[in-house]
Amino acid sequence: MNIESIINSQEYKVKLSEHLTSLLRITKSSENETTTASYFENEIYYFVRSTFGISIDFRKEESQKTLLHKIVGRMDAVCNNLVIEYKRGKLDSEKDKIKATNQLSNYLEQLLKEDGNEYYGVLTDSVKIRYVYCLVSAKSEHLKG
């Protein structure tokens, strides 16, 4: 079975909804960003592994020292071309959302400039989620939550 047929199946949609509900339930009780990150990554890892049979690796606290890129700052987690930033309790005000989105966008732009590849970002406090992506031709963002 190919990935597209899995994603379009009703079984996948039910499973995704169940995992999202579980993720929201367990991350609401997290005390800090580290715990939120752990819950988030464990749930995603299990979902991807059980659904697609693919193991994924989240590299933590990526920076210029650990990447082969010149990056200013430290990204919370990186998995392939996905950068994840966790902000526990720091996405309540519009000012906080803008600051965090700019931080994530800056990482994506730096990576794009370094290697010319497209990158995607997820910004979350475990309740709200913002998707940011930096494409070769344009920069866009989408807010959900």
Structurally, the chain folds into a number of domains equal to 1
The C-alpha angle with vertex 144 and arms to 61 and 10, in degrees rounded to 5, equals 100
Question: Of 1 and 127, which is predicted with more confidence?
Answer: 127
Domain that holds residue 22: 3-144
In this predicted model, what pLDDT tens digit does every residue of 39-86 receive, in sequence order?
888 888 888 898 888 888 888 776 655 455 566 778 888 888 888 898
Res. 16: pLDDT tops 70: yes
What would the pLDDT profile of 89-145 be if each residue is shown by its tens digit? 778 889 999 999 988 988 888 888 887 888 889 888 877 888 887 665 545 554 444
Rounded CA-CA distance 15/70 in Å is 39
How confident is the model at residue 144, as a pLDDT?
A: 45
For residue 11, is pLDDT > 80?
yes
HSE-CB of 72 using CA atoms within 13 angstroms: 6
Q: What is the DSSP letter of 2?
A: -
Report which DSSP code applies to 59: E
User: pTM (2 decimals)?
Assistant: 0.71
Judge contact between 88 and 127, C-beta under 8 A.
Answer: no
CATH number at residue 119: 3.90.1570
- Name the residue among 47, 117, 119, 35 with its Cα closest to residue 84: 119
